Amino acid sequence: MPSQHSHQQSNYLQTLLASARPFLRGELESIDVNLPSLVAVLRSVGAGECWHKHGSFLDHLLDIYRILKIWNAPDSVCLCGLFHSAYSNSYVNLAIFDPNTGRDVVRSHVGEAAERLIHLFCIVPRQPLIHDDLLFKYSDNELVQHLKLSEISLKNAKDKDGKPGLWINSTSRMGALYTLIRREEEIFIHERKRAGGVGVDQVRDEDIELVVPPVFDECTKILDAREQIMARDLYWEAVCDMPKIGIDRAEELLLRCVEKNPFVGEPRVALGQVYLTKGRFEEAEKEAERGLTLMLEWGSPWDKRMSWEGWIAWARVLLMKAKEKSWPQTSWGILNLGLVR
């Protein structure tokens, strides 16, 4: 009999999948009735023509919006993600809207609260956000204003290209700091109200809920810098050299990878495929389900050799076949896999 915990995990996975499905199917209007027109605005000012890391700026903006929506961030934060850096930022010139005359235009599309966050995101110095001496660089109020944008910064920090990057340590530290600031902000607001303060302080954006992202065990864990390097290299050897090292060695490497870095999904998906190949279906189901959950929580891939949508589809195929207790034994049979139910 399935345990209560397994039922809870399955229900949680279905909830995540339901929130991701409109993105997987490109049903923008079902996410937000205004989203198609907002994307059209971004296209009209050339966001799709701007180079950004490994694609266009428009692709990046939509990725940020997607993950914030999956994290159940407030609408103003999601809209900030969709237009973030639109006035440029301290790293690169991406000013698709003039930082002076364009603010009214952006405000007319996203509203006052979101535009204020967009402008703040564009003007703050972003480099110090990931440094250990962050707490000593700003006054309390400045630090709070910086960390209001941390949900977006968490996503930005992981958007790299090629071989899985070494961003998880710094991002996990940012998440832990965000959790700390969130708690301190709650205490501050409670004490201010108890002392006779009324309403909310718009300058501090106190009406915007600080949602904790589900990653890193709800931002309570930090991945050691050395562990992330070892985990990445173990994964890379397993998936790139499997024909040479053999499936048993690949399983060993992936198990060690997952132990050192339990916060990303692709190594678990690869491990699930190894178990399917060996006919160990219960273990394959467990790893495929956990890997799929993690990748849905992140909303973008750690291993960027395949798109997030592709990884989600593949993980769902593995999970389906594990539950069916079947797996093709030829490369042609694997190529014929496709439909996910």
In which domain, by residue range, is 257 found? 225-335
Cβ–Cβ under 8 Å, residues 145 and 108:
no
Q: Which of 157, 187, 219 is the last residue of a domain?
A: 219
Q: Are residues 189 and 210 in the same domain?
A: yes
CATH at 230: 1.25.40.10
Residue-level pLDDT at 138: 39
- Name the domain count of the chain: 2
pLDDT score of 126: 64
Residues 300 and 177 in one domain: no
In a domain, 60, yes or no: yes
Q: What is the pLDDT of residue 53?
A: 78
For the chain, list residues with pLDDT below 50. Answer: 130-148, 159-160
Let me know whether 80 and 168 are in one domain. yes
pLDDT value of residue 205 = 75
Shared-domain flag, residues 131 and 259: no
Same-domain pairing of 77 and 153: yes
- Residue 320, in any domain of the structure: yes
Last residue of a domain, one of 219, 245, 276: 219
According to the model, what pLDDT value does residue 61 have?
Answer: 96
325 in the same domain as 233: yes
In this structure, the answer to whether residues 179 and 242 fall within a common structural domain is: no
Among the three residues 219, 245, 280, which one is the final residue of a domain in this structure? 219
Verify that 229 and 154 share a domain, yes or no.
no
Residues 41 and 149 in one domain: yes
* Whether 131 and 278 share a structural domain: no
CA 172 to chain centre: 12
* pLDDT score at 207: 80
pLDDT on residue 140: 43
Least Cα distance to 323 among 296, 283, 294, 292 occurs for 283
Say whether both 156 and 299 belong to one domain.
no
Alpha-carbon gap, residue 75 to 81, rounded angstroms? 10
**What pLDDT was estimated at residue 144?**
45
Cβ atoms of 123 and 92 within 8 Å: the answer is no
Query: In the prediction, which pLDDT does 320 show?
Result: 95
Residue 20 resides in a domain: no
- What φ, ψ does residue 99 adopt, rounded to 5°? -65, -10
> Is 83 inside a domain boundary?
yes
Tell me the pLDDT tens digit for each residue of 279-323: 999 999 999 999 999 999 999 999 999 999 999 999 999 999 999
**How would you class 59 by CB atoms within 10 Å of its CB: exposed for 0-12, middle for 13-18, buried for 19 or more?**
middle
* 16 is a domain residue: no
